[in-house]
Structure 1
């Protein structure tokens, strides 16, 4: 699938026709740039209105196009991110069951959705409002999904950190700790290289440590987690003495209800994340198609408006879609310019050359209407 297309229009002279211009363009492309796909971009007879209204509308078209294109790309990138997370990549995105590039190259105006008798300003505003609502909905849905992901990531960071900082509830079992009126079990974080020092010294750090009570529960790349049992009244003193020997005593209180509550919370977050991911992905699929369809209708209006302003009334032009390779761009530009006629070509030189220049949003001025559609 090509990712970049040109939409262009060529004037139809008094002694010519759309079919003859199309034939000459096809012939020139096949001879000079045969690797450039070429398609008709069929635009119906839209309601022209006044030239003043077209001029006013033209000023807003490029800016509005950037907004609609941006929404399209944001939704597409979100789809790619969600698919990457699920590990399932779709072959292509579609619009009403048709691949997006096919929808563009075989564009058909939707008369039921966008009546051609409606003022162009009304059509453009309707598309803009529709896309703005979709973007607002998109932001809400992404924020909801991101919030759940952030909560899960925070929990995972706690679980994946070193023993010095991670949550210990999943490694400490009820049988590992003693909590009574007189005795308590502390959890010591011991550097891996200091384990021998711990085992030889913990019983003598304070007076009331239960002999041979230390047990290693787990270790990671940096630390080992040990238990030690002693009298309650000696716990604070033991913490101080342990810290002096570079042993960290972690605060931890085993509570079965708390543990079960955390597990339920984690299970719920995981379920919510998957449900939101699936819902967001399905919404993005359908909304991308809607945005893309609206975008192509907007582009059709844009071509129509700029062509009327460029070539005059009554509307008489051929609109096409091309996808030239980078190396063929200059050659294709030359072909399009050659089909515009010398007088038109001279009139529409760039401003630096003394002409009127291109229309709003075009980086370069050409004697024909032209702008780029980036699908990605």
Structure 2
């Protein structure tokens, strides 16, 4: 089972990369054998000036939080859409590769992010691209939710109590009498008051047709009755009925309106399914783009922080680990032991520990470290 929480770390190289990598592998296999370990391939990026690196470091954590947040938004949207359809398609991917595999086998895309570009340019490019995807997500989700809200409103009318639901599906043409003088009203009667209704409706006003009330439907709270009377006393009847606790629902039977409502409902159902499927496919593709951008961003972070931590020329080993919670302390100890006593001119003092770790862990370490949560 793939891990959901990874560390990306870099260690200072004091002899050779291969020697340090062998020592790290050996230490992990002996002391924390259940911790997966992978190389994290950071290319030779353009260093620029120390001032530019320091300026960039101020924005890296904020930008990382943004990019990571967008990836999680898309993932949550995928999960919500899959729950709505009752279908789970499996793990998210980047160009067909599971995200955990993409992370642990990361390869820099030089065509998309030329390594000779200034680091600031690469970071800004990633931020702009992800911001555009986030804006697109907001628009698409708003459109989908609008259709879903319309459909939910109709369904509530169809499934609510008789006091609020749409009655057109419960009334047949033969239930309604409409003539020059007569009108049929629909009364919503509390279930416990049905006997009272049947004994009193004829006397609520004059000119009520005797024995004209018929029950059409019943739910957990109410019963729906018809009553026929002269149109000229309809308002009086409604007032008297309301005083007795009976609700007269406004209703006009129209086969054309009912057919129109049915067509609207069918169209909304189709629109919702079409938009759900389209949004889901877009989320799959966009998640891959955002996750790929995020990993390139992480590579820039590793590179920039390693320079600030260990100095020039760049000489560090980057790795990805996935320790279990019970192994974290042991793995931290292993990593610290491999750092030796090498310190950088730019390494922060204890008084400035808040700046150490550009988006890494709350506590500082004598090596570069930050955590990646992919779920």
Q: What is the match of residue 237 of structure 1? A: 236
Q: 156-165 vs 214-223, which deviates more?
A: 156-165
In structure 2, the CA distance between the partners of 1:364 and 1:355, relative to structure 1 (3 Å rule), is closer
In the alignment, the residues of structure 2 paired with residue 92 and residue 153 of structure 1 have an alpha-carbon distance, to the nearest angstrom, of 30
What displacement does 1:140 show? 0.4
Q: What is the match of residue 124 of structure 1? A: 123
What displacement does 1:361 show? 2.7
In the alignment, the residues of structure 2 paired with residue 346 and residue 324 of structure 1 have an alpha-carbon distance, to the nearest angstrom, of 31
Q: What is the match of residue 3 of structure 2? A: 2
* TM-score under structure 2 length normalisation: 0.96
In the alignment, the residues of structure 2 paired with residue 347 and residue 238 of structure 1 have an alpha-carbon distance, to the nearest angstrom, of 88
In the TM superposition, 1:207-356 aligns within 5 A as: 207-344=206-343, 351=350
CA RMSD in angstroms comes to: 1.7
In the TM superposition, 1:3-18 aligns within 5 A as: 3-13=4-14, 16-18=15-17
In the alignment, the residues of structure 2 paired with residue 64 and residue 217 of structure 1 have an alpha-carbon distance, to the nearest angstrom, of 62
Q: 149-158 vs 80-89, which deviates more?
A: 149-158
Task: Judge conservation of contact 1:190–1:198 (CA < 8 Å) in 2.
Answer: yes
What displacement does 1:73 show? 0.2
Task: Judge conservation of contact 1:347–1:367 (CA < 8 Å) in 2.
Answer: no
What displacement does 1:314 show? 1.1
What displacement does 1:192 show? 0.6
In the alignment, the residues of structure 2 paired with residue 221 and residue 139 of structure 1 have an alpha-carbon distance, to the nearest angstrom, of 40
Q: 251-260 vs 226-235, which deviates more?
A: 251-260
What displacement does 1:244 show? 2.6
What displacement does 1:360 show? 3.1
In the TM superposition, 1:1-376 aligns within 5 A as: 1-13=2-14, 16-344=15-343, 351=350, 358-362=356-360, 363-376=362-375
In the alignment, the residues of structure 2 paired with residue 62 and residue 295 of structure 1 have an alpha-carbon distance, to the nearest angstrom, of 12
What displacement does 1:180 show? 1.0
In the alignment, the residues of structure 2 paired with residue 125 and residue 92 of structure 1 have an alpha-carbon distance, to the nearest angstrom, of 29
Q: 78-87 vs 170-179, which deviates more?
A: 170-179
What displacement does 1:349 show? 7.9
Give the SS at the match of 1:224.
strand
Task: Judge conservation of contact 1:350–1:365 (CA < 8 Å) in 2.
Answer: no
What displacement does 1:38 show? 0.5
What displacement does 1:48 show? 1.1
* TM-score under structure 1 length normalisation: 0.95
Moved over 3 A (4+): 343-350, 354-357
Task: Judge conservation of contact 1:189–1:248 (CA < 8 Å) in 2.
Answer: yes
Give the SS at the match of 1:273.
helix
Task: Judge conservation of contact 1:347–1:355 (CA < 8 Å) in 2.
Answer: no
In structure 2, the CA distance between the partners of 1:223 and 1:281, relative to structure 1 (3 Å rule), is same
In the alignment, the residues of structure 1 paired with residue 127 and residue 197 of structure 2 have an alpha-carbon distance, to the nearest angstrom, of 69
Deviations 1:201-237 (A, max 9, x none): 2223222111221111100000000001111112112
What displacement does 1:346 show? 12
In the alignment, the residues of structure 1 paired with residue 85 and residue 311 of structure 2 have an alpha-carbon distance, to the nearest angstrom, of 53
Give the SS at the match of 2:46.
coil
Task: Judge conservation of contact 1:348–1:365 (CA < 8 Å) in 2.
Answer: no
In the alignment, the residues of structure 2 paired with residue 62 and residue 247 of structure 1 have an alpha-carbon distance, to the nearest angstrom, of 63
